[in-house]
Amino acid sequence: MKATEIFPKSTFNIPAGLKYDTEKLLYKSGLLRSGETLTFYSLGVKILDKIKEVIISRIEAENFKKIHQFKPSVEDIKREIYNEKILPLYFYSLNDFTLYSYEITNNTPKLLKILSEILDYLMQKGIKQNYFSVAESDEKIIYSFSSEKGDFAFLHCPGCSNSYSLNYISYKKEIEPKNLKKNESMKKVYTPGIKTIPELCSFLNISPEKTIKTMIYKVNYNNNKEEYIAALVKGSRNINEEKLKRVLGAIKVALANEEEIINFTNTKMGFAGPIGLDLKVIADKDIIDIQEAVVGANEEDYHLIDVIPEKDIKIDILCDIKENKDGDPCPVCNRPMEIIEGQIVAEFATSKENNITFNSMKIDLFNLFYLISEKNRDSEGLIFTPEFSPVLCYIIPINVKNESILNASKEIYEKLIKYVDIIIDDREESPGVKFKDADLLGIPYKIIIGNKFIKEGKVEIKERKTGKSFEIELNNINIEFFNSL
């Protein structure tokens, strides 16, 4: 490719609204421009194609067959299986920037192993950082790298290295119905007009950790069934409604309205409590640890104090339904976890029906492209590895008006272009402009043909990543030489 043919031109004027350094570099270099839409231009497409090639060559080697689906789903494929003898089946479909693949087998599955190998390769040769395997549920894992863009937050334990999505349910136990004994120390206190947790805490001079919030939800299930439940969580926390939905196996949960709340609690909003409530109770397990808890009394202007949750509250399901925070304890080793912001690169889900395993994998090509760019850059531009660079070398004739320099540059170009993508900068620009563009694009090697060539017949090779340069005779430049670097 000739530099004069590259479209769009590099620019150092970037539009307002680009937030991250990587976005700015991609814009400046012309690899990816954002406006009304996102457009990958020729050199950006080359990077995307290289990422695709890594994945597709790996799965095709394992006999995955290409299909096209408008809305990727394994459900239609399932219906075609009339006989187990046709198994295993392997398919993949490429939609926009996502690659989907399915494995249906009654034998040993292999998709998860293939995915790990693909991610290991992308990590080693492209992103140069470890990825996180984030448990979303027992059936689903999300793979993520930390990222400046951080559109996917998850919990990570530095102790045991386990990671969990914010919707992961770390605990769930159905509680056998039991007869509650009367707790003599529990007292009803007058709390006039005190409806919120902060008001309650300041009125009773206690911490929100001592209080229990009772929230009434309307729950919808798949079979048109609906019910109302009470969800309990410490006053210092919010309920994660996605977790609540999953605990119940519901399709929708929504807070009850004022009328419904009054109907179930016989009191105004703000005084609902779990004791004496005739509803299924889903409790976050943290409430069990509260000594002398405070709850609503289901009576206007009253709360109950000195409640012992384990003894006094009829709990149907004890589980994890709270919204997580940085520092929450790890469900495995109990050490404080941290919230990491990352980008999702892949997802793996598995399910089993009768004897058949259904596995699916989803790989996000756009996020991989972004992360390869984000993790390989400096203030001057991008720094691609040869495996993911749009081209391997950038030939810079210092002066295109000098015939012998231009001819030598063309000779190198003709020699290498048969094997790899390269750029020759045939523009009548200053050497400084050419160096800057090569650095911005992140091309691994610059081949500089200048005065040294005129005097001694030598050209300079400069590595983008290290900035190191060395000289070599023109005749010694060939593809074997670059392969050996």
Residues at the interface with Zn ion (CB under 5 A):
157, 159-160, 330, 332-333
Tokens of 404: 């012998």
Residue 315: exposed, middle, or buried by beta-carbon count in 10 A (0-12, 13-18, 19+)? Answer: buried
Closest to Zn ion by CB, 330 or 447:
330
Closest to Zn ion by CB, 160 or 254:
160
Least distance to Zn ion, CB of residue 217, Å: 31
Least distance to Zn ion, CB of residue 330, Å: 3
Cβ(294)–Cβ(204) below 8 Å? yes
Return the sign of the alpha-carbon dihedral for residues 432, 436, 437, 443.
Answer: positive
Q: DSSP letter for 141, please.
A: E
Q: Please confirm whether the linkage preceding 88 is cis (ω < 30° from 0).
A: yes
Least distance to Zn ion, CB of residue 170, Å: 11
Closest to Zn ion by CB, 159 or 208:
159
Q: Which residue's structure tokens are 């950082």?
A: 129
Least distance to Zn ion, CB of residue 138, Å: 17
Q: What is the largest CA-CA distance in the chain?
A: 102
Least distance to Zn ion, CB of residue 252, Å: 33
Closest to Zn ion by CB, 81 or 332:
332
Other CB atoms within a 10 A radius of the CB of residue 52 amount to 17
Closest to Zn ion by CB, 115 or 157:
157
Least distance to Zn ion, CB of residue 334, Å: 7
Closest to Zn ion by CB, 158 or 467:
158
Least distance to Zn ion, CB of residue 335, Å: 5
Closest to Zn ion by CB, 307 or 330:
330
Return the sign of the alpha-carbon dihedral for residues 61, 65, 71, 75.
Answer: negative
Tokens of 306: 């000195």
Least distance to Zn ion, CB of residue 215, Å: 29
Q: Which long-range CB contacts under 8 A does 482-485 form with residues at least 24 apart?
A: 482/392, 482/393, 482/416, 482/420, 482/445, 485/445
Closest to Zn ion by CB, 146 or 162:
162
Least distance to Zn ion, CB of residue 163, Å: 10
Closest to Zn ion by CB, 158 or 457:
158
Closest to Zn ion by CB, 87 or 332:
332
Neighbour order of strands in the sheet with 293-296:
187-190, 302-307, 293-296
DSSP result, 288-325: GG-SSEEEE-SSTTEEEEEE-HHHHS--SEEE--BPP-
DSSP result, 61-104: HTTPEEE--SS--SHHHHHT---GGG--EEEEEEETTEEEEEEE
Least distance to Zn ion, CB of residue 272, Å: 35
Tokens of 109: 């599955």
Parallel, antiparallel or unpaired: strands 302-307 and 293-296: antiparallel
Least distance to Zn ion, CB of residue 154, Å: 14
Closest to Zn ion by CB, 38 or 160:
160
Instruction: Could you list the beta-strand ranges (E) of 96-238.
Output: 98-105, 132-135, 140-146, 152-156, 163-165, 172-174, 187-190, 212-220, 226-234
CA–CA separation, 106 and 113 (whole Å): 17
Cβ(223)–Cβ(229) below 8 Å? no
